[in-house]
Amino acid sequence: MSNLFDKRDVDVAWCPGCGNFGILKLVKEVLEELEIKKNSLVNVSGIGQAAKTPYYIDTNMFGVLHGRALPVATGIKLSNENLCVVAEGGDGDMYGEGGNHFIHTIRRNIDIVHIVHNNMVYGLTKGQASPTSQKGFVTGVQVDGVINEPFNPLAVALSLKAGFVSRINIGNIKHAKEVLKEAFLYKGYALVDILQPCVTFNKINTYDWFSENSYVLDDSYDASDFEQAVKKSFETIPMPIGVLYKNKNSAVTFEEAKRGRDAKPLHSVTHDMAKIQRLFESY
């Protein structure tokens, strides 16, 4: 089925069966269904297999360096708040190399959708552990298995009072779409951590493994209860999926606090030279 965001003449560089295909399809469908305009959307990504996603979507994109999608996305949103800004990449990109930016982007509460493909392994560098790899995971580098505690992005995001914290499983596409749409509609920083298998380098955390080791938060779960969300975020096997936390009273966003509501895009902001003259002459 064709989609408005299909990009023509591109050579997709993923392995056959890769979970990224499902995420690409999901993102394009959500964009189309939410009627987001191509030229008012910017997708920023770093480096890695997941970070290639924006290259396959027909929209504005800025493919930057490993770990740096978030500060670039911040600069874009600060420059023009009318743009819908997405930062997309993998677990190594966003939680490892870009870990410091992850922390401070949440603190800023910039109005972006932060999509992280979490396959618990490094794909592009061929199979090393990622920050989210499970303990005991054996690789060519972690020859005796991973000994570090896995990074918990949801708990970290909640500890920093992120307004929208979610996890989805690409194996459950219907549910994933609902959550991703909600993330796009949320005003403020929204984290969507996507469980996704790497069919080449992670033979443990497969489509089946993710389905067997996760459960969907049902209607009885109150996503506005912060303390409950914190507890949920520490559940590991099985992992809860869905919107863990959504701040009902969405806070003032970074760009609003910085420049006020309905600020002019900076490309049309010039300074009053007569005023510069006056200020200079006060010296």
Partner 1 sequence: MTVEQVKRYNGSISILIGGAAGMGIATLESILNNAFKKSGFYVYSTKEFMSRVRGGSNTTLIRISDTPIEAPCWSVDISIALDALALKHMQGRCHKDTLIFADEAFGEGNAILVAMKESAKKFGNAKYANTYIAGMLFGVLSIDKSFLLQSIAEHFKGDEVNKEVAEFGYEVGVKLENKSKFKLPKVDIEGLKKFHQMDGTTASGFGFLAGGCNMLTAYPMSPSTGVLNFMAAMSKEFDIAVEQSEDEIASLHMVLGGWYAGARAMTTTSGGGFALMGEALSLSGMTETPAVIYLAQRPGPATGLPTRSEQGDLNLAVYSGHGPFPRVVLAPSCLKECINYGYLAFELADRFGIPAIFLSDQYLADSISMIEDVDFASYEQRRYIVKTQEGYERYADTKDGISPRGIPGFGDGLICSVGDEHDERGQITEDYNMRERMVAKRARKNNELIKEAIPPEVYGEGDIAIVGWGSTKGSISEALQNLNNPDLAQVHFAWVYPLSKEQLSVLGNFSHIIVVENNADGAFANQLRLHDIKIYNQILQSNGFNFFADQLTLMIEESIKEIL
| Binding residues for partner 1 (CB under 8 A) | 9-10, 13, 38-42, 44, 47, 52, 55, 58-65, 68, 71-80, 82-83, 100-101, 103-104, 258-259, 263-277, 279-281, 283
**Nearer of residues 141 and 266 to partner 1, judged by Cβ:** 266
Cβ 132 to partner 1 shortest distance, Å: 21
Q: Are 114 and 189 in contact (CB under 8 A)?
A: yes
Cβ 108 to partner 1 shortest distance, Å: 8
**Nearer of residues 231 and 264 to partner 1, judged by Cβ:** 264
**Nearer of residues 41 and 154 to partner 1, judged by Cβ:** 41
Cβ 210 to partner 1 shortest distance, Å: 29
Cβ 34 to partner 1 shortest distance, Å: 17
76: amino acid identity, one letter: I
| 35: Cβ contacts below 8 Å, ≥ 6 apart | none
- Using CA atoms, how far apart are residues 94 and 84, in angstroms rounded to an integer? 19
**Nearer of residues 21 and 58 to partner 1, judged by Cβ:** 58
**Nearer of residues 101 and 117 to partner 1, judged by Cβ:** 101
Cβ 237 to partner 1 shortest distance, Å: 33
CA nearest 95: which of 54, 43, 147, 151?
A: 151
**Local structure of 61: helix, strand or coil:** strand
- Using CA atoms, how far apart are residues 265 and 78, in angstroms rounded to an integer? 8
- Using CA atoms, how far apart are residues 74 and 270, in angstroms rounded to an integer? 21
User: What are the distances in angstroms from CA 11 to CA 7, 89, 137, 142?
Assistant: 10, 19, 32, 32
